[in-house]
Amino acid sequence: MMTKEQYFDSLRRLKPVIYCNGRRIESVVDDPMTRPHVNSAGKTYELAFDPQYEDLMTATSSLTGRKINRFTHLHQSTDDLVKKVKMLRMIGQQTGTCFQRCVGFDALNATFIVTHKVDKECGTEYHKRFIEYMKYVQDNDLMVAGSMTDVKGDRSKKPGQQADPDLYVHIVEKRQDGIVIRGAKAHQTGMVNSHELLVLPTTNLGAGDKDYAVACALPVDAPGVVHIFGRQTNGERRLEGDIDTGNAEFAIVGGETLTVLNDVFVPWERVFMCGEHQFAQEYVETFASYHRQNYGGCKVGVADVIIGATAAMADYNGTPNASHIKDKLIEMIHQAETMYNCSIACSAEGHRTEAGNYYVNTLLANTVKLNCTRTMYEISRLAHDIAGGFIATLPYEADYRAEETGPLIEKYFAANPAVPTEHRIRMARLLENMTGGTALAEAMHGAGSPQAMRVMLYREANLEHKKGLARKLAKIQA
């Protein structure tokens, strides 16, 4: 396993092409725009060496028998699935943000399942290749970016019907030594500070979309790969000071990126699907259900911080004993624990797959994420309600530090005499950054937009069985 410092050093050795705000980033570890995201992912390495969290953060590899970071593990029991959720909540509590390794974690487990099925039905050797790739990931403790979401173009058309064929990643050439792919992947969480990207199909595919049925792995700095770092909610604030960023060490969201694949070569040993379009939908749903499981873990860890910050703001404002404040805090806690309950349930109700790893209860996993698309907004709304308009009207940190205006801000933004004004400002900035902008958009659209969960809930609900229960009680013969 890598330490946090070794992770940082490993990123410095990579040479990805990354652009941000009109310039090229030379080192994601040392650039102020990307360093907070590196720090948050670094926590997943640091905590693996903390004896207090060893049981959550590490596992024994089913492939090599060696001790590994859990983020590279193939789930071997429902207990592993539960530990995953508990691990995500714990890291969310410590970072207050996205720590980015979940997407690759889920993509690895989904690929293990799907390649096994494709091999069984088509006589291919993808699963064998993927096992060797998994050993490589585990032995080197690599951070893998799961690359599913395509830019999609005209949503009314299938990939093969687009005016521009590159709007979905596709195979443009098959060679004796591998394939060449072209296209782009959007909203890529943690991409710029990952070691590898694992390309997955993004939708169900028909016979006319065979070239889009591709899964493969490649280094983030492979020739032809270009990353365009997304604008972050508090991006420019990182260049201005400490307070206004809100969460200066770990940022607020996952550093989402547009990753362009300009005729990128992938050797056959790193190709795990090549034209088997009939398995694309199952691939998408398997990955998505794993990923939707997460939201009652990582987002609840973040919610724990929001709730704590909100309760602290009530203290700082002098209102902790007001009954309506307590009621709103109770509601925030209820919303968070409901999400957590769903994630634990879908994990405990998981099952062993034919491939040998464990998979979540699909119905309950989709319930987790659909709840999250509402509850994180409601938790944020209540946080704003309790904290007050103060969080929206704070002056710049530079004004707080200035000789002329600093004393005025110190005087007129004071509240509870027992609390320094700077503490109140810092807590307000944390809340402001955690409850707005891309942080909420990710809660809504990460792991699929709400309609995708609704489709899965309807499909998995087994309505015919429920109709049968009703007919039996009503004494109606089918």
The count of other CB atoms within 10 Å of the CB of residue 299 is: 30
CA–CA gap between residue 294 and residue 92 (Å, rounded): 11
Annotated catalytic residue 102: yes
The alpha-helical segments, DSSP class H, found in 123-187 are 126-140
Tell me whether residue 53 is one of the annotated catalytic residues: no
Q: Which amino acid is at 276?
A: E
Point out the catalytic residue in the list 20, 98, 342, 372.
98
DSSP class of residue 284? H
Which is the catalytic residue, given 196, 397, 432, 442? Answer: 442
- Residues 374 and 83: their CA atoms lie apart, in Å, by 25
Q: Is 291 a catalytic residue?
A: yes
Known catalytic residue at 256: yes
Q: Strands 144-147 and 170-175: what pairing?
A: unpaired
Burial class (CB in 10 A: 0-12, 13-18, 19+), 380: buried
**Contacting residues for 303 by C-beta, under 8 A, at least 6 apart:** 332, 335, 336, 339, 375, 376, 379
Helix axes 323-348, 280-293, angle to 10 degrees: 140
Which of 95, 115, 189, 438 is labelled catalytic? 189
Q: Mark whether 196 is an active-site residue.
A: no
Cα–Cα dist 190/279, whole Å:
27
Whether residue 26 lies in the annotated active site: no
Report which DSSP code applies to 195.
S
Please tell me which residue in 295, 316, 358, 400 is annotated as part of the active site: 295
Query: Which entry of 196, 291, 375, 400 is annotated as an active-site residue?
Result: 291
Can you name the residues that pair with 73 across neighbouring β-strands? none
Q: How far is CA 239 from CA 78, 357, 452, in A?
A: 44, 44, 38
Q: Which two tokens stand for residue 128?
A: 């064998």
Instruction: Count CB atoms within 10 A of the CB of residue 388.
Output: 15
Catalytic residue among 216, 298, 342, 346: 298
The single residue of 102, 216, 274, 342 carrying the catalytic annotation is 102
Catalytic residues: 98, 102, 189, 256, 291, 295, 298, 442
